[in-house]
Structure 1
Amino acid sequence: MLFFGAVMAPLVFIKLPLETAGPFIRAAFPWYYAFIIASSALAALGFFLRGQALSAVVALLLVAVTVWLWVWFLPHLDVLRTAGDTLGFKRGHRLSVYVNGAELLAALVLLLRTAV
């Protein structure tokens, strides 16, 4: 999660022309979200089997939020972008950055709780 947001996305927009970078990143998001959903679901199962209910619930929340991002929010951003709603797209993009950041923070907290 951290690599995609901190390294991959900025690098793509630095190294590729905008007309290539945008579609490339949009094509990467389903893979990114599928990985988060699968790994969070697996983590939730592991936490549940270990009797760590709070951690299991947090991991399941990661699954739910990521499904929402993938199924509803990402297509909504595409509609805004296609319609030329620059302000709406910027606001939506900013929200997606915050939501993805919150997911990353939650995943890091789970990782730290598991390590300690």
Structure 2
Amino acid sequence: MFAQLAESLPAILAFLSIGGGIATMIFFAAIVTPTAFQTLGEDQAGPFVRALFPLYYLFFLILAALATLFTLLAGAEIAAILLAVVTGGFAYGRFLLMPEIERAREAGEVERRRRLHRRSVLINTIQLAGFLVALLLLAGRV
């Protein structure tokens, strides 16, 4: 029995980490951000949400890296490769894109900040789709 549990543990952890990533991304986009802007108003919500984003990216960078590892250990190599790309997207967002957006905001470059923000939303949407596809690939493997 212990051997069976040890064999299925990577798949269980992969499902939990991928599913947790999907749920948290949807919760943040659908609940946290709109509620912040509705409750706090633009002047206070902007700084609040900007303060959350370094933690958001770091959290997802770690979660996606763990999901990649667990998925690889579960034997779903294609899903693991996809998750590695998702992980890279979070690293790009945290260490390159987010600071660039902040520099554009501080410099008053409204159009550039808007363009970079659209890029971050697009990447985030692709990452969510990546999590979903990886979950389906893993489910087909197990």
TM-score bracket for the superposition, by shorter chain length: over 0.9
Per-residue CA distance 1:2-59 (angstroms, 9 max, x = gap): 1111221121111112221111101111221122111111111111112211111111
Q: Is 2:118 the counterpart of 1:77?
A: no
2:51 to 27, 34, 49: 27
4+ long deviations beyond 6 Å:
none
1:68 to 76, 89, 92: 92
The root-mean-square deviation of aligned C-alpha atoms, in Å, is 1.2
Aligned-partner Cα distance in 2 for 1:87–1:101: 21
Shift of 1:76: 0.3
1:56 to 77, 80, 83: 80
Aligned-partner Cα distance in 2 for 1:10–1:92: 20
- SS at the partner of 1:7? helix
Query: 1:1-116 residue pairs with structure 2 within 5 A?
Result: 1-116=25-140
Aligned-partner Cα distance in 2 for 1:102–1:4: 15
Structure whose CA Rg is larger: 2
The runs of 5 or more residues in structure 2 that have no matched partner are 1-24
Shift of 1:77: 0.3
Aligned-partner Cα distance in 2 for 1:112–1:11: 31
Aligned-partner Cα distance in 1 for 2:30–2:117: 15
- SS at the partner of 1:71? helix
CA gap 1:103/1:56 in 2 versus in 1, 3 angstroms: same
Shift of 1:104: 0.7
